[in-house]
Structure 1
């Protein structure tokens, strides 16, 4: 069977608090409740969540261009530009102390199970996402071209992931329209 991704809307503050307090029990309660409302409220990405996460994390933040360095540092030949262009320009921090938030679409995909016993077993991962962030992800998902997604995910995974992503995107937009947060498990 393997590891799968499942998600449900968090419709109330009480839903959100229960998810934080007991995510395992909440996942089962939400699954039953949402299936009774509409089967499409129980969203799944099967095993494709990892490929989709890679898609939303890849190349999302361009490196500094020569033009942006010039805007910050001054004209060519200036000592400020030479200082900025050197990789050792900042000695006050360690690279592990820099955190750049991911592209908004990744916010509903981050995480993975915690393996133990040499990958023989695992503990689930739970993501609890407030409504404001679900809206950001929905806006990002709306901009995804499915043909480009298929191409970016590669021949083996492209059709599989776009087939999973399209109904996922529609559900997330529906949850956003309802003002819901989002709760997901990777288990």
Structure 2
């Protein structure tokens, strides 16, 4: 079963707001929260890079049972073929289509899962992690009702393999990317092929 998660971006808010976002997500029924761990904001205009462990400690102190986690370059080095997929700006049905399509050919982190959406909770972002083998081909028999904005995070080779896999089922337009020392964050838009 797929767990729905919330990604709170440390570069876009201060520590108090991040804790509030994580706890609001938990109250809304989100299963877990993930945040980034950076020494400084990726873009100067963002102006934030709080100490992630204090943020997580604050969220845990207020948490009832949500598992909070962080993503670092060290984690990526341990799982170089793992790509975190974050979907946004789309309908729940389109998010489900993309996640199910990925799940039929790729191994979700933690094993095979099934997508689900709690219709009682408004969700704007969906996230999952997949191990991406080279040459993975997805079913081309899928249809989206609109464009889907996807953020891919992982090692450069794995993100490249994910783009190739997505292109086997969807039209993929790269909107931009930011590279770190061991990871890449790429934004793509998916439409019907």
Q: TM-score, normalised by structure 1?
A: 0.31
Which structure features the higher share of strand residues?
2
Which structure features the higher share of helix residues?
1
Greater relative contact order, per chain length (Cα 8 Å cut-off, separation 6+)? 1
